[in-house]
Amino acid sequence: IEFIAPKTRHNKDVYLIGDLWVKELNYKSEIGIEKINFRKDDVILCLAKDEISLKKVFDSIRLGGETGYGWGRVKVKYFREDDNSKALGGIRAEIINDEVVLILEKGNHLTSHLLAADLSCQEFNFKILSENFIQGSIEPFTGYAYTKEGWNIPHPFICFAPGSVVKTDITVKVSVFGLGILLYSHLPV
């Protein structure tokens, strides 16, 4: 059973934190984003006839399955522009070939889901990553996604869960939906 408590045992508010990387566009995106404006406390996606505030989008996010009666609702406390060289948890972050890449050292904990299969394999012949890389729970990652066709639920990805422990130094690319994809490790796959 999933439950997100709004207060700690000591009656303090519970907060969720995370990293958001926004890629500047120099072209029109597939879903019609023409420009991105960065403001002190918000990021604005400019469409041909409308603007979308990411702060408002995040204020409408619901987590878990208990949203019908109030639980799972989140609200943005603040946006903050930060140093690009560190991600959540002090993990080293770099921009390589226009991609966000995280360098996790042995003993780091995953701060997001990491795909548990090698995507370089052809078709659906995925190779599950060895337990030599990560120690932790594996779970499906799914949710609603907006595409040109509208809202849908994509096939779930099988991932190592946040909190899993990195057993050897790895390099991970941040991909669609914030999923991590293993790029390099010191062990053979």
pLDDT tier at 1 (50, 70, 90 boundaries)? very low
Give the percent of the chain with pLDDT over 70: 76
Model pLDDT, residue 82: 67
Query: Is 90 exceeded by the pLDDT of residue 10?
Result: yes
Domain range summary for the chain, segments of one domain joined by +:
1-82, 88-185
pLDDT computed for residue 141 by the predictor: 85
Distance CA 47, CA 150 (A): 16
Per-residue confidence (pLDDT) for residue 189, from 0 to 100: 45
Please tell me the least confidently modeled range out of 43-47, 61-65, 97-101: 61-65
**Which residues are within 8 A (CB) of 43 and not within 5 positions of it... i.e. 6 or more apart?**
20, 22, 36, 37, 53, 54, 55, 79
Question: Measured between alpha carbons, how far is residue 5 from residues 63, 88, 163 in Å?
Answer: 11, 22, 18
pLDDT band at 152 (very low <50, low <70, confident <90, very high): confident
Q: Which of 57-61, 95-99, 118-122, 160-164 has the lowest mean pLDDT?
A: 118-122
Amino acid 18: pLDDT: 80
Residue 113: count of CB within 10 angstroms of its CB: 21
| Dihedral pair phi/psi, residue 59, rounded to 5° | -65, -15
Per-residue confidence (pLDDT) for residue 183, from 0 to 100: 79
What is the mean pLDDT of the segment spanning 130-156? 81
pLDDT of residue 61: 77
